[in-house]
Chains A and B, each alone.
Chain A
Amino acid sequence: MYSVDCRQSSKNTDFRLDPAYSMLSTLYPKLDTANRAVLEQVQFERLRSQLEYVYARSPFYRQRFQQVGFCPDDLRELADLRRLPLLSKPELLADQQNAPPYGERLCVPSDKIRMLILTSGTSGIGQEAYAMTRMDIEYGGSAWANWFYRCGVRKGDRLLLTWPLGTNSGPQGAFLGGYKVGANVLPIAPYDSETKIRTYMQRFDPVAILATPAYLSHLTILCEEQGLDPKASFPSLRIIMIATEAYPVSWAQKIQAIWGARIHELYGNTQHGGLAAGTCEAGTITEQGSRGCLHMDEWSCLYEVLDPETQEPVEPGSEGELVLTNLFREGSPLVRFRTKDRVRLVPYHACSCGRPTNAIEAGTIARYDDMIKIRTQNVWPEAVDATIFAYPEVEEYQARVYVDEYGKEQVEIKVEFRASAGEADARQRILELAAAELRRNAGVSMCLVEASAGSLERFVFKTRRWTDERNKGLERVLHTAGGTRKE
């Protein structure tokens, strides 16, 4: 039986828990205390309304519905949604190309659009464009605000955001969510890590911080190098919020001990438009040392976890691909979109917090395709292939993503040249040009170095060119930070 006992783990007195963590004090009590039947009734009403909406307004969806002989009136129960075909990223990109910039799935006139958000990643490969109406923006912010509140963030609490604001949905949603929950929001992404610690964290003593696991490791190691004990130096900090990467339980336990704060995790995606799932009061790990869970925002999205091969729903406790349908989105809604995210389904009743929403296991979200998330940016190996192999002098390359000795995420690409590639100066110039292009296109700096002739393995499948060694780097925190370092 799959179960997560949140009540037990929330008894942990090592953490400065806010008594308001209780279910009696939630931001939206009717959402958190409703029973599953009410949730499913609301989902059904919203789904019917959403399908009618997209059918009436979007030629893209009308055509898809008609192709399978489906009319919104045919929806008699939630399961009827499965009569509609799954929607893939290439289909969205093709739609955008045919009717730029938003595609025919756009459901509002241009004067109703208030903001554009894009999926992060290499231009031309991964960037889906989403039009956001005022309502879409509010709804995204509310999902974040609700989760912040669930983590323990309260009015006036100093909330540090380390994610850079841009066209991605996550950072702007986090900013708006903090604003809506009443926190004192400090978006400190533009500053270097030392300035973040010395100027902002020490000066303003935050209650909560949002970071990636790798960046948190980096801050931990930096603190140690500067002789700072995080628990003593930031006495108000009791909430650490992370996302975007999987991590070992041992890492999370160590970070909690070092910082004296509880770790919470969120799962967000542009397709949801806000915060798709987040931990409840218990955080990412239970007192027994097992992984916690992230409750999905099922009030605004209908989630399916499907076997990617058979497209049938998986059993609770099993892994599958997350497929989402927006229930209340105006600008660029999605119907049965395949996220390619691999998640483990945790049924709502397995978590003792009492929320009616199903969940996914914390710390294990991965991908079915070869996309790699690096410093919050989506990077597709095939896009890197396109940049590097655009130079005919290049024979092969091999890349690894790792966490360096300072806890920073790095990408090293070894490039092997053909014998006819020219002198060393010319090869060096190619490396520099390719690195600049990759930085411009992918939004991530990568270190390109030359490999000697014949030293790199030749690959049949492109994904094998890439190795992800970041978990090893996260585990380094176990040995180097928090007073356990051997001199």
Chain B
Amino acid sequence: MTADELVESLRAMLSEAQAIALAHEPSMEGDIQIILAILTDKLRCLDPQGVYPRLVNYE
């Protein structure tokens, strides 16, 4: 997997995680925020020139 493909995959995962977070499912509430934070932070480090929303804006 190339670096670009990795970033694309992480973006897709972030998108899915955001959709799950919007469901506000109690059994996922805390865990999905951890996943969102990890993905956003990882993208910030792997693709520093990308633009990422702040977590608090879409939790």
Per-position 1/0 for A97-120, Cβ under 8 A of B: 000000000001000101000000
**B39 to A, closest residue via Cβ:** A138
Contacts A/B (CB < 8 Å), 8 sampled: A30-B48, A30-B49, A31-B45, A31-B48, A42-B48, A134-B34, A135-B40, A146-B45
Q: Is A45 a contact partner of B51 (Cβ separation < 8 A)?
A: yes
Q: Contact check: which of A38, A135, A299 meets B55 at CB < 8 Å?
A: A135
Q: A30-B46, A146-B45 are in contact. Are A133 and B51 (CB under 8 A)?
A: no
Q: Contact check: which of B3, B44, B54, B59 meets A29 at CB < 8 Å?
A: B3
**A34 to B, closest residue via Cβ:** B48
**Complex Cα spacing A146 to B40, Å:** 16
Q: Does A21 contact B (CB under 8 A)?
A: no
**A112 to B, closest residue via Cβ:** B56
Chain A interface mostly: helix
Q: Is A30 a contact partner of B56 (Cβ separation < 8 A)?
A: no
Q: Is B51 a contact partner of A142 (Cβ separation < 8 A)?
A: no
Q: Does B47 contact A (CB under 8 A)?
A: yes
**Complex Cα spacing A34 to B41, Å:** 18
**Complex Cα spacing A328 to B55, Å:** 11
Residues on B with beta carbons closer than 8 Å to the beta carbon of A30: 3, 45-49
Q: Does B33 contact A (CB under 8 A)?
A: yes
Quick one: which of B44, B49, B51, B59 has the most chain A CB within 10 A? B44
Q: A135-B54, A135-B56 are in contact. Are A28 and B45 (CB under 8 A)?
A: yes
**B34 to A, closest residue via Cβ:** A134
**A180 to B, closest residue via Cβ:** B38
**Complex Cα spacing A45 to B42, Å:** 18
A372 to chain B, nearest CB (A): 34
**Complex Cα spacing A133 to B34, Å:** 10
Q: Is A138 a contact partner of B47 (Cβ separation < 8 A)?
A: no
**A28 to B, closest residue via Cβ:** B45
**A27 to B, closest residue via Cβ:** B45
**A330 to B, closest residue via Cβ:** B56
Q: A30-B47, A134-B34 are in contact. Are A53 and B55 (CB under 8 A)?
A: no
Per-position 1/0 for B14-41, Cβ under 8 A of A: 0000000000000000000110111011
Q: Is A112 a contact partner of B48 (Cβ separation < 8 A)?
A: no
Residues on A with beta carbons closer than 8 Å to the beta carbon of B49: 30, 38, 41-42
Q: Does A417 contact B (CB under 8 A)?
A: no
Q: Contact check: which of A27, A133, A138, A299 meets B56 at CB < 8 Å?
A: A133
Q: Is B51 a contact partner of A138 (Cβ separation < 8 A)?
A: no
Q: Contact check: which of A29, A41, A138, A299 meets B38 at CB < 8 Å?
A: A138
Q: Does A247 contact B (CB under 8 A)?
A: no
Residues on A with beta carbons closer than 8 Å to the beta carbon of B54: 53, 135, 330
With A112-B59, A134-B34 known, 16 other A-B pairs at CB within 8 A are A30-B3, A30-B47, A30-B48, A31-B45, A38-B48, A42-B49, A134-B59, A135-B37, A135-B41, A137-B37, A138-B37, A138-B38, A139-B44, A142-B41, A146-B45, A299-B45
**Complex Cα spacing A146 to B41, Å:** 12
Per-position 1/0 for A316-334, Cβ under 8 A of B: 0000000000001010000
**Complex Cα spacing A28 to B33, Å:** 23
**Complex Cα spacing A114 to B42, Å:** 19
B14 to chain A, nearest CB (A): 13
**A109 to B, closest residue via Cβ:** B56
Q: Is A142 a contact partner of B45 (Cβ separation < 8 A)?
A: yes
Q: A34-B48, A134-B36 are in contact. Are A139 and B56 (CB under 8 A)?
A: no
Residues on A with beta carbons closer than 8 Å to the beta carbon of B48: 30-31, 34, 38, 42, 299
Per-position 1/0 for A2-17, Cβ under 8 A of B: 0000000000000000
Per-position 1/0 for A24-45, Cβ under 8 A of B: 0001111100100010011001
A449 to chain B, nearest CB (A): 50
B33 to chain A, nearest CB (A): 5
